[in-house]
A = this chain, B = another copy of it.
């Protein structure tokens, strides 16, 4: 299975992002083992060296711990995961607000639009 990567940013960073999201969404839980470097390389259609670089990066962020001979595991340190969650949230919000302002919307229009949107999808949830 070949994956799709945006060629404008390095693949290893995109992999970092993807794994972070998997953790945030609960697809990967604290203590879970990540696929081996080789395995992930095949899954992602990417060179194992790139995966290695990804895991090193995640380890630097304390999100992941490598245990020699056993594999790479999601940290059990809840605080770190919380911090990451918070940080990604801020980035997402910031990007959203920036885009809306770039389109000329005022802050109140932004909040209002969001609330209207949420109330709408509530009504059509299971259609």
Contacts and interface: CB of A to CB of B under 8 A. Distances in A.
A104 B6 contact: no
Counted per complex, copies of this chain come to 4
A67 interface: no
Contacts of A94: 117
Contacts of A100: 89, 92
B117 A110 contact: no
A69 interface: no
A85 interface: yes
Interface stretch (A19-27, A30-38, A39-47, A70-78): A19-27
Nearest to A122: B107
Given A8-B6, A60-B60, A114 B85 contact: no
B89 A113 contact: yes
Nearest to A20: B103
A90 B93 CA distance: 15
B117 A90 contact: yes
B104 A24 contact: yes
Contacts of A1: none
Contacts of A103: 21, 24-25, 85, 88-89, 92
